[in-house]
Structure 1
């Protein structure tokens, strides 16, 4: 694998992916809107991925061994990607999400077959260009984007990496989700959770970047779950944070919106397919304490 195009993802694990590829000797082309400069040694093309003509013009006659799309949220974007990259690459990797399984009642980790992209209805007439629609229907947008790529895989072979909830990154984690727990528990404030909070699956931010790079250079196609073995509930997360900062977590189970990583239903993922393909994710227990310590140090205060 010599040439890879990465669309978006200029921060957090997306940036880690870019430097991981570059350091492995891959020539990386980053496509973004120009707001974030690329890492040293990476070519940048400035284009809005929602402007199909501008994206095609920016790419010119370039071809790639693989494309990794970090910002594919809607079926309209997926349809445009099929048109733009057909003939430019033989492998299209979409960063998808665990959220495609939202709404499925499950008591055990879900395998990829639980959501078959080829069976998902697609509606290209919805106003997918409206940001609020993307935000409000994130899971559905991702499902339909996968469906569009699946139906075009004869002309553009694809992979949908269904990414678990990402933890880690220290100062690079712009989401504030883990910091939320550190700040509230350290301050003695209540953490809002579901009354019957259920666990989910997670992945460490270095490892998801490495998995995306590994996937770009592989040959398999279709959906693949990306997560560490083991699941985690909000109570256990709060216990680990509390141990680190020296205070016991206090919970509130009614009223306002629950905290991030508090879930009212179980939707863990089964990573057996990734293992069968040759990638072994690290167990959650092997990296979670370090990530909590890193977050505590970043936020500062006792236990940092």
Structure 2
């Protein structure tokens, strides 16, 4: 199939592209042209600013793809700039589990219904939840829901995580810096960067209508992350309410997600325990 990947040269965009190439798809990557990657196969590039409608039009006007995988749709205006200038049979958007209004264990896709959300045309704003809800909703102005997939991930971790969220805990323990962790016992879901990419590629050949959650099986408590790092480093964490605020503060309840819909499509996610402790070792 002829596939456009918008934002495929960074983090888990790379395993998206490699998985598509392994399946023999014809891949074009839309980027700003700042980064070139040695993929596991040949790809084509188009250079554009996806937030600028005229830039997208110059690069992609009159192009049609079997599938568009949109990894960097952060606002409704991002979606507008793209979909008013290029067409496709199917559209897959990397959304986020942050669209869900309530935190609890076992969140299912129907807890945020894209079609029922009141659309606002907006640029990228600091209210991440609001802007991503609008990014989902904007797609339905251009395509039928039956041709759309919204992939909702929790926090993505991996060796190439440029945000340093897991590294925060390890470095604070290693350097004996105090940190403020507001709930040691909160349980969270995560997904590894490689699997996050591979699942999006899987959806090209195994379409899912509407929203679908993706995360590793199982969860982990912040206290377990800290305890593992303490043992590996042979140092104790310095916990202090006046210390540096930890990345996952602010949760009021467990934050885990059902992946039954993905299982129905034939995809089984890995167990969290199969990689999270290896990743802690890697960071150390």
Give the TM-score of the pair, scaled to structure 1: 0.85
Instruction: Pick from 160, 163, 167 the counterpart of residue 150 of structure 2.
Output: 160
Q: Distance in 1 between matches of 2:75 and 2:257?
A: 22
- Listed as ranges, the matches of 1:32-51 within 5 Å are 32-40=31-39, 41-51=42-52
TM superposition shift of 1:35 = 1.0
CA contact (8 A) 2:147 2:209 kept: yes
Tell me, yes or no, if structure 1 residue 201 matches structure 2 residue 189. yes
Coordinate RMSD, CA, aligned: 2.0
Q: Deviations over 1:30-59 (max 9, x none)?
A: 101111124352211001011212212212
Number of aligned residue pairs: give it.
Answer: 281
How far, CA to CA, are the matches of 1:151 and 1:46 in structure 2? 25
Q: Is the 8 A contact 1:166 1:204 kept in 2?
A: yes
2:215/2:257 contact within 8 Å kept: yes
Contact 2:146 2:210 in 1 (8 A): no
Q: Does 1:10 align with 2:5?
A: no
Which of 161, 183, 201 is 1:173 aligned to? 161
SS of the residue 1:185 aligns to = helix
Task: List runs of 5+ in structure 1 lacking aligned partners.
Answer: 297-304
Distance (whole Å) between structure 1 residues aligned to residue 256 and residue 155 of structure 2? 10
CA distance in 1 between counterparts of 2:145 and 2:89 reads: 8
Secondary structure (helix, strand or coil) at the match of 1:90 reads strand
Alignment correspondent of 2:224: 236
Shift of residue 146, structure 1, vs aligned partner:
0.9
The secondary structure found in structure 1 opposite 2:239 is: strand
Tell me the alpha carbon deviations over residues 78-104 of structure 1, each in whole angstroms, 9 at most, x when there is no partner.
23333223xx31111100111112x41
Task: Name 1:146's counterpart in structure 2.
Answer: 136
* CA deviation after TM superposition for structure 1 residue 246, in Å: 2.1
Aligned residues of 2:115 and 2:137 also touching (Cα < 8 A): yes
* 1:123 lines up with 2:120 in the alignment: yes
Structure 1 segments of 4+ aligned residues over 4 angstroms from their partners: none
Structure 1 residue 75 and structure 2 residue 76: aligned?
A: yes
Aligned counterpart in structure 1 of residue 102 of structure 2, from 77, 93, 104? 104
- Structure 2's unaligned 5+ residue stretches are none
1:156 to partner: Cα distance: 8.0
Would the alpha carbon gap of residues 156 and 276 (structure 1) be closer, same or farther in structure 2, given more than 3 Å must change? closer
Residue 217 (structure 1) aligns with: 205
